[in-house]
Structure 1
Amino acid sequence: MVRKKNFDRALAGTILMLAWPTIIEQALQTVVMYVDSAMVGRISAEASAAVGITATVGWLLNAIFFAAGVGCLACISRAVGAGDERTAKVASVQSVILTLILGVSVGLVAMAVSGPLPGWLGAEPDIQKDASAYFFIAFLPMLFRAAVIIFGSVLRATGDMRTPMLVNAGMNGINIVLNYLFIYETRPVSLFGFSFTAWGAGLGVAGAAIATAISFVIGGVVMTLALWRSQRGVSPAGERIRIDRPIMATCVRIGLPNAMERATVNLGQIVFTMLVARLGTIAVAAHTIALTAEEAFFVPALGFQAAATTLSGQTLGEGNERKLDDLIHLAVKIIVAISTVTGLLLFIFPNVMMALFTIDPQVIAQGTSVLRIVSVSEPFLGATFVLEGVFNGVGDTKAPFVIATLTTWGIRILFTHICVNFLGMGLNAVWVCMVADVIVKCIVMFWRYRSGGYKRGLVFERPLCREEARA
């Protein structure tokens, strides 16, 4: 059982110090997502649906890179905590190899499925062409996406949260400017009392995709340079780029269950989207925009998750079990308090959030209703993020995979299928099923934490990834 703990201000300060750059990074990404959705939403509900219908597949593809990043982060953070700079550097080289292999292979798959994908997802015929074009263009620079995600994880493993934040902030700024130029046609603009003609390409949905693609190319190049110039012992500069079997095996062993978890959840999201698509274009637009609106309210949880992942890996490397227990207790306690407040705000102002992205009254009405429903799950979602971050940091990635599979498919998909196809229920029922999934998943994850199951097999004696992999 977990012992009763007192509030540790120093540890809380460390958690907050690592969390805040990721919170800002995620907040900036959310702002850009808001701007994207608002700009596209001003075109039409059909344009919003065209962008949103393939979003879950994009999450699935990105999940592969995030999983690889988790494997590298767990290995490197543990080595950093143990003071093993050589293992950290060699693990960084493995991240380069994974980026090249996964970036190219996943990119080829994305290009191959872009044409028929919207039809597979159940999109209505009038949006399929725009949806295919958006997906193809936005995910064309897949190698650069991989670099942004995986190399960002490597830097975070050392405690460098600031560099990924700055790189993503730059990407977001570029994306907003290019959106403005590429989506709309040339038009007169009044700003601060001055009137001028603003050039625009008038490309609509395709313009939003081009802006996204260019921002990822720039971000990938800058993140790669940041890793090569890192002064924290993980720069691959001067190293031979070759596979180190023991360390690569450790990264893959930790990352593979995480990849399976993300794949399972995202495949579930794809099926989920297909079920929502049966409710019509208005429902798809409301669903997509509401998901986007909600993201702002769990941004703090993402920051605490990143901090928990890094600190738990480093603490395991230090061999300090008591500090690990205190870390989890504090991080969960703080994020539940914060998420309770954000959930309350989401419940009070859902109509304001929806109005940021669309002027369609039907879309706003449906989105407002489902946002109030999901607001009650925010504290559960925050706790789940932090616990999963800890489990990933110590290398316990199998249990989250099993838990996510059971709740996603056994609760969210099964009951959504029943509600939509057998009971003829609408979008509100779909989101109730989603909330049930979140709450049950949190309860099971918390039980694993309280029972100490995530510690089984861990050795609190400054373990090194290279030695562990060869054992």
Structure 2
Amino acid sequence: MSFSEVSERKQFASVFATIKLALRGEEMDYTTGSIRKAVVLLAIPMVLEMIMESVFALVDLYFVGHLHNSSYAIQAVGLTESVLTVIYSIAIGISMAATAMVARRIGEKDPAAAAKAGMQAILIAFVINTLISIFGVIYGTEILMLMGASPEAAQYGTPFIKIMMGSSIFIMLLFLINGIFRGAGNAAIAMKSLWVANIANIILCPILINGFGPIPAFGLTGAAIATTLGRGLGVSYQLYHLLNGRHTLKVAARYFLPDWQQIKTLSQVAAPAVLQFVIASCSWIFLAQLVATTGGDHGSAGYQTALRLLMFFILPAWGLSNAASTLVGQNLGAQQVERAVESVIKTAKYNVIFMLVITVLSLAGAEIFVSFFTNDAQIKTVAVEAIRIMSLGYVFYGVGMVLINAFNGAGDTWTPTWVNIFGFWLLQIPLAYFLAKTLGLGPTGVFIAIPVAETSITLASIVLFRKGKWKKVKI
């Protein structure tokens, strides 16, 4: 055997060992050792986790896209997802606060304080979600119509939105508990919980939508039931690992009692984190409504189809960027500021490479991807145009999401909040309205505004990252 063959075998064995370690499901200390290896160990399960999250949206879209009245079904699912982004925003915001605090305490070698912070975050989530769920169940039809759905589409989608809003606690807990595990350095458990949820969803979706044996066909409502059951199983998996006492975070019953000082600290970090994603979500809701009013049912359905595919491509990149959050949090806790900076730069480089590949795939394969999810020619035309235009901002978005996660991981949640106000409310919304309405470009104007805003957000984030305020935040 030649020297090159021996070398190749050793490299392959090393790669395989790294992947195996990343997927094992153990908490790790990322304040020492190779930064590149640390990024890879965190990124592999986080990317797979986000791929699983994006599959949720595509599974529903695939099966409802082939129902009778598919334009109504796709529109109902898409608009409901747009509304659910508010819940995603709250969940991600609280999750980021939990990740930052858990990671900081782990970096300080205080796992008991880390566990308590995580449980207090769950307590906050339960209170907030209860209020949102009740409102969504009562006013489901009105919400769809407010979003721009026609009366027929709103009526058709009412059972779907009510089930999804009523069961949104599973969304909240999936995001939050995964954030707790990521902060502790155990990204594999977060990934596996979404595997459980998605496998269940993939199995249940066709059965409950189309019927199977004695099980009747529930149509669009079946998609909501399947997604809810899948997420419920994922949360059950999370809770089992969180509460079994076998990991670094050992939960005691007393941690669930309200600790008002801890809740205050979490809220101070979470409030701007929630706000930054609510700002983004409100912008996306406005854009969805603008497309629905200027492009009609087919324009709205095409845009929602494109967004689902967009999220399928972007969520893995978000998973990679999540590595920056954990690395920054743990290294700041260990007083290793320069290591935190280097971790962000390396993560951003990897994300740029990934997003370059995704940009090429989106530009070249848009028609093929869209054809897989709908047979309607009008929907296809809109969706293909949307994907090709929005993909022009992918590379900038890849850098921006890493920097946003770095700020949040440091507990500096106000910086990305101000950046989002600038990018979404002061730029994206006015520009989209101007192009779509004033210049009469319709949905195309909305599609153009999206990469322009994302690029501006990234440039602003680079400037603020280099200023270094995030290095000095105490939590």
TM-score, normalization: structure 1? 0.90
Question: Does 2:348 correspond to 1:322?
Answer: no
Question: Displacement, 1:238?
Answer: 4.0
**Residue 258 of structure 1 is aligned with which of 264, 268, 273?**
273
Question: Does 2:264 correspond to 1:249?
Answer: yes
**Residue 162 of structure 1 is aligned with which of 188, 211, 236?**
188
Determine the C-alpha separation between the residues in 2 that align with 1:390 and 1:367. 32
2:160 alignment partner in structure 1: 134
Question: Does 2:265 correspond to 1:239?
Answer: no
The SS at the match of 1:89 is: helix
Comparing 109-118 and 64-73, the one that deviates more = 109-118
Q: How does 1:143-158 map to 2 (within 5 A)?
A: 143-158=169-184
Does the 8 Å contact 1:183/1:200 carry over to 2? no
1:183 alignment partner in structure 2: 209
Question: Does 2:126 correspond to 1:111?
Answer: no
Question: Displacement, 1:95?
Answer: 2.3
Relative to 1, partners in 2 of residues 1:159 and 1:341: Cα closer, same or farther, differing over 3 Å? same
Question: Does 2:323 correspond to 1:307?
Answer: yes
1:30 alignment partner in structure 2: 54
Question: Does 2:422 correspond to 1:398?
Answer: no
2:84 alignment partner in structure 1: 58
Question: Does 2:385 correspond to 1:369?
Answer: yes
Determine the C-alpha separation between the residues in 1 that align with 2:174 and 2:245. 15
Question: Displacement, 1:200?
Answer: 5.1
1:192 alignment partner in structure 2: none
Does the 8 Å contact 1:92/1:234 carry over to 2? no
The residue identity in structure 1 corresponding to 2:233 is I
Comparing 438-447 and 417-426, the one that deviates more = 417-426
Question: Displacement, 1:13?
Answer: 1.3
Determine the C-alpha separation between the residues in 2 that align with 1:125 and 1:420. 23
**Residue 270 of structure 1 is aligned with which of 280, 285, 294?**
285
Question: Does 2:452 correspond to 1:443?
Answer: no
Structure ranking higher in helix proportion: 2
2:365 alignment partner in structure 1: 349
Question: Does 2:469 correspond to 1:453?
Answer: yes
Question: Displacement, 1:113?
Answer: 2.6
Comparing 349-358 and 83-92, the one that deviates more = 83-92
Does the 8 Å contact 1:261/1:401 carry over to 2? yes
Determine the C-alpha separation between the residues in 1 that align with 2:245 and 2:449. 45
2:374 alignment partner in structure 1: 358
Determine the C-alpha separation between the residues in 2 that align with 1:314 and 1:83. 10
Determine the C-alpha separation between the residues in 1 that align with 2:254 and 2:132. 26
Question: Does 2:277 correspond to 1:228?
Answer: no
The residue identity in structure 1 corresponding to 2:140 is S
Determine the C-alpha separation between the residues in 2 that align with 1:78 and 1:231. 21
Determine the C-alpha separation between the residues in 2 that align with 1:101 and 1:229. 24
Does the 8 Å contact 1:182/1:201 carry over to 2? yes
Post-superposition Cα deviations, 1:196-253, rounded to whole Å, max 9, x if no partner, equal: xx56522211111111121222222222222112533323234352122332222111
Relative to 1, partners in 2 of residues 1:410 and 1:322: Cα closer, same or farther, differing over 3 Å? same
The SS at the match of 1:54 is: helix
Q: How does 1:11-90 map to 2 (within 5 A)?
A: 11-43=35-67, 44-90=70-116
The residue identity in structure 2 corresponding to 1:17 is L
Does the 8 Å contact 2:112/2:250 carry over to 1? no
Does the 8 Å contact 1:380/1:438 carry over to 2? yes
Relative to 1, partners in 2 of residues 1:29 and 1:90: Cα closer, same or farther, differing over 3 Å? closer
2:25 alignment partner in structure 1: none
Does the 8 Å contact 1:391/1:454 carry over to 2? yes
Post-superposition Cα deviations, 1:406-457, rounded to whole Å, max 9, x if no partner, equal: 21112211111122222221222211011111110011011111222333x3
The residue identity in structure 2 corresponding to 1:12 is R
1:298 alignment partner in structure 2: 314
Determine the C-alpha separation between the residues in 1 that align with 2:422 and 2:321. 22
Post-superposition Cα deviations, 1:137-181, rounded to whole Å, max 9, x if no partner, equal: 122123333222211111111111111111111111111111111
Question: Displacement, 1:96?
Answer: 3.1
Question: Does 2:231 correspond to 1:207?
Answer: no
Determine the C-alpha separation between the residues in 2 that align with 1:417 and 1:93. 42
Relative to 1, partners in 2 of residues 1:273 and 1:261: Cα closer, same or farther, differing over 3 Å? same
Relative to 1, partners in 2 of residues 1:34 and 1:145: Cα closer, same or farther, differing over 3 Å? closer
TM-score, normalization: structure 2? 0.89
Does the 8 Å contact 2:170/2:228 carry over to 1? no
Q: Percent identity over the alignment?
A: 23
Q: How many residues align?
A: 441
2:445 alignment partner in structure 1: 429
Determine the C-alpha separation between the residues in 1 that align with 2:301 and 2:353. 31
Determine the C-alpha separation between the residues in 2 that align with 1:248 and 1:123. 39
**Residue 338 of structure 1 is aligned with which of 354, 362, 365?**
354
Question: Displacement, 1:65?
Answer: 1.6
Question: Does 2:240 correspond to 1:216?
Answer: no
Question: Displacement, 1:350?
Answer: 0.5
Determine the C-alpha separation between the residues in 2 that align with 1:370 and 1:269. 14
2:400 alignment partner in structure 1: 384
2:427 alignment partner in structure 1: 411
Question: Displacement, 1:185?
Answer: 4.2
Relative to 1, partners in 2 of residues 1:423 and 1:365: Cα closer, same or farther, differing over 3 Å? same
Structure 2: runs of 5 or more not aligned: 1-31
Comparing 239-248 and 336-345, the one that deviates more = 239-248
The SS at the match of 2:148 is: coil
RMSD: 1.8
Does the 8 Å contact 1:420/1:426 carry over to 2? yes
Determine the C-alpha separation between the residues in 2 that align with 1:401 and 1:319. 25
Question: Displacement, 1:54?
Answer: 2.2
1:4 alignment partner in structure 2: none
The SS at the match of 2:254 is: coil
Determine the C-alpha separation between the residues in 2 that align with 1:410 and 1:240. 41
Relative to 1, partners in 2 of residues 1:313 and 1:240: Cα closer, same or farther, differing over 3 Å? closer
